[in-house]
Structure 1
Amino acid sequence: MKTSFYLDDFRSLLRGFAPSANKIGWRERWRASLGALCGLLCASWFSYLLFGWNGIPLLIAPMGASAVLIFSFPSSPLAQPWPVIVGNSVSALVGIACAQLLHSLPATATATAALAVGLAILAMFMLRSLHPAGGAIALLAVMGGPSITTLSWHYALAPVALQSLSLVLCAVFFHRFLGTQYPQQATNANNMHRTGDPAIGSRLGVADADLDAALARHGKLLDISRVDLRELITLSEIQVHQRHHGLIRCRDIMSRHIVTVEFETPLEHCWQLLRTHKIGSLPVLDQADAVIGVISLIDFLKHAGLDVYHDFDLRLRQVLDQARDISGSSAQVVGHIMSANPITASMDSNILELVTLFSDRGLHSIPVVDNRQKLCGIVTQSDLIAALYNMQMQQMQQMQQMQQP
């Protein structure tokens, strides 16, 4: 009996060493791998352009760890430009200082390297620049051999600071080219109307003050940004609501008979469609019925210069009387003034996921697409409000039935 207990305990320990299931798709894996390849090539290329073969390593090993973070976890607080550049540079300075001050002492190089790493971590904490590769950079400064020690204090500038900066610059362009955000920016807690009220999501959901209080009570370092943490909490709340009250998908409430335009649709015709159907926006489709943009009344007003209020009434009257002359230039079709890359939702998306899009981003309608990005319908604010109201009424009726004897 006792042997069986120890055997089960040993099996549980072994299961603890097993890796968790990988939730990252192959597209993200290839993106991270390609990004690291490009970043490290750029870092070595910049080193060669500035210093050639004059004893400066074209690439040092810790940059591989930085590349993993920057391109695989671009939203991580440890992968942002300040930790990468400052964390690596200050770690190099600490490592050089330990190597030069303690080289004549009887302590072994191993003890000096361990001290350098510990002090580098402390320095990075003090400068709010903790970056994992910094430990390796401090270690390399002590145990890197003649090729590193002969650089002395120049080691912190080149190759460390130079290659760190090169990685960050490459990451900025790489992520922007692929449509991902780097560096991570904190969302503005104020609403889009620039008034004193916070956004509706912060008023009803988790606010920054709630996150700060929870993190202070936790008291440990988390490798996740505040933006991602808030999003995870919101998705968890949606999942809990779905588990208790069921799922309503976009396909259940969307409008299916949609008025659309194409890239080459004349502006005058588009304006007439907006007026005739009394709607605020129209999806713009390509030849395969995929959504490539949205054109709204705001796009017309901006294009006509009506977002500036000088002589607003006069110019608005001219636009309404003669829509074909609104551009005064060669831009006469929808594609030249539409808002490209619109936010869309899938047919199977939970309608609760649309709440923050409508409330915090100021959207009035969201196109619904299938797995081929083909337009299937559209959900408006009115559709969502009606669905949420109906959901609330059903829940109240269920509670009343449960309370009845």
Structure 2
Amino acid sequence: MKTNSPTLSFSVINIDHKEAPDLIEVPPETLAKIENVEETNVTSSLTFNKCWKWLRIYAKKFCGLHEERPKRLPWQEYFWSFIGAFLGIAAVAFLHFRLLEKRQLSFLIGSFGASAAIIFGAPRSPFAQPRSLIGGHLIGAICGCVVRLAIYQFEKSVGCAIAVATAIVVTQLTETTHPPAGATALIAVTAHPILPWANFQFILIPALSGACTMLFVALIVNNIAPKRTYPSFWW
């Protein structure tokens, strides 16, 4: 005797299993971003190290070279420095107050005081030689007068700076460096002549003529001193 038993049928369902994302391998896009960040950090670190090194070197310069200061000069040198500076400025002042001031001309400017300190206080210095003394004041006066007409009347602060900076560079290029020349340029650019176009007379009076007067006195006084010889060179 046959019995009818229920039959169970199973259907197989195909499920496409997607591969699980790899949790260890970093995607290329993310890796590129990380590398860029690392390169930026390395570059920033190198830049910081260079800046820090530069600052350390820069700060050490303030300590100086630790060289010995010059020895004290014999007392005779101080005597002749005083005599030379006294006579040099006296000559320029005499011409200014007795002759030129009445004609509304100036012969006495502050930069001659600095020149006296150099040509009588350090007559063997390269800055004290006739080439530098005459050439420095002449170039400083020319630079000051030109800048006065070109720039100073429009922008005073810039004009002053350009006049002095230009005078320094031109005297360096022409090997006529004389520190008071910067003061001569500044005086020329800030002077207030009576006539608007008369400031070019500043080149001859007082810059050139005053420097020649100082040179004349320096030749006399510095060569009277037993241990001095002036100039070391003319040109």
Matching residue of 2:92: 43
More strand by share: 1
Q: Establish whether residue 182 from structure 1 lines up as the match of residue 230 from structure 2.
A: yes
Relative to structure 1, the CA distance from residue 103 to residue 54 in structure 2 (aligned partners, 3 Å threshold; closer, same or farther) is: same
Larger Rg: 2
Helix, strand or coil: the match of 2:102?
Answer: coil
Q: Quickly say closer, same or farther: Cα 1:146–1:109, change in 2 above 3 A.
A: same
Matched with 1:70 is: 119
User: Deviation at 1:147?
Assistant: 6.9
Question: 1:21–1:178: structure 2 CA closer, same or farther, 3 Å change rule?
Answer: closer
* 1:92-141 CA-partner distances (Å, limit 9, x unpaired): 01101001111443xx3121111011111122123221110100000111
> Alignment partner of 1:23: what SS?
coil
Deviation at 1:58, TM superposition (A): 3.7
Within-5 A mapping of 1:239-258: none
Considering Cα pairs closer than 8 Å and 6+ residues apart, tell me whether 1 or 2 has the greater RCO.
2
Q: Which amino acid aligns with 2:167?
A: A
What secondary structure is seen at the aligned counterpart in 2 of 1:24? coil
CA contact (8 A) 1:87 1:129 kept: yes
Among residues 189, 211, 233, which one is paired with 1:164 in the alignment?
Answer: 211
Cα distance per residue 1:217-247 (max 9 Å; x no partner):
xxxxxxxxxxxxxxxxxxxxxxxxxxxxxxx
Distance 2:160 2:177 in 1: 18
Gaps of 5+ in 2: 1-58
- Aligned positions of 1:314-333 closer than 5 A: none
Structure 1: distance between partners of 2:152 and 2:101: 30
**Residue 102 (structure 2) aligns with:** 53
Which residue type is aligned with residue 184 of structure 1? S
Contact map agreement 2:80 2:221 (CA 8 A) in 1: no
Q: Could you tell me the TM-score, scaled by structure 2's length?
A: 0.65
Which residue of 2 is the match for residue 112 of structure 1?
Answer: 159
Question: For the residues of structure 2 that align with 1:33 and 1:148, how far apart are their CA atoms?
Answer: 38
Which amino acid letter does the alignment assign opposite residue 28 of structure 1?
E
- 2:202 alignment partner AA: Y
Alignment of 1:366-405 (within 5 A): none
Structural mapping, 1:3-402, within 5 Å: 20=69, 22-48=71-97, 51-105=100-154, 108-146=155-193, 151-179=198-226, 180-185=228-233
1:9-61 deviation per Cα after TM superposition (whole angstroms, max 9, x unaligned) = x9x967889x9465222221222122111111112223456535222224110
Name the CA shift for 1:111/1:38 in 2 (closer, same or farther; >3 Å).
same
Contact kept in structure 2, 1:85 and 1:164, CA below 8 Å:
yes
CA distance in 1, matches of 2:195, 2:70: 40
Deviation per residue, 1:242-277 (Å, 9 max, x gap): xxxxxxxxxxxxxxxxxxxxxxxxxxxxxxxxxxxx
Cα distance change, pair 14–145 in 1 and its aligned pair in 2 (3 A) = farther
Match of 1:268 in 2: none
Quote the offset at 1:174 in angstroms: 0.6
User: How many residues align structurally?
Assistant: 175
Q: TM-score of the superposition, structure 1-length normalised?
A: 0.39
Q: Deviations over 1:290-327 (max 9, x none)?
A: xxxxxxxxxxxxxxxxxxxxxxxxxxxxxxxxxxxxxx
Q: For 2:116 and 2:138, how far apart are their aligned partners in 1?
A: 16
- Alpha-carbon contact 1:124-1:131 (below 8 Å) kept: yes
CA gap of 1:101–1:32, structure 2 versus 1, over 3 A, is same
- Unmatched tracts of structure 1, length 5 or more: 1-9, 187-405
Would you tell me which structure has more helix in proportion to its own residues? 2
Letter in 2 for 1:131: H
Is the alpha carbon distance of 1:54 and 1:25 closer, same or farther for their aligned partners in structure 2, counting shifts above 3 Å?
same
Amino acid at match of 2:139: V
CA distance in 1, matches of 2:188, 2:196: 7
Q: 1:149 to 1:168 in 2, by over 3 A?
A: farther
Q: How far does the alpha carbon of each residue in 1:145-197 deviate from its partner, in whole angstroms, 9 at most, with x for none?
A: 457977410001001111100000000011122232111149xxxxxxxxxxx
Q: Corresponding residue for 2:5?
A: none
RMSD after superposition: 3.0
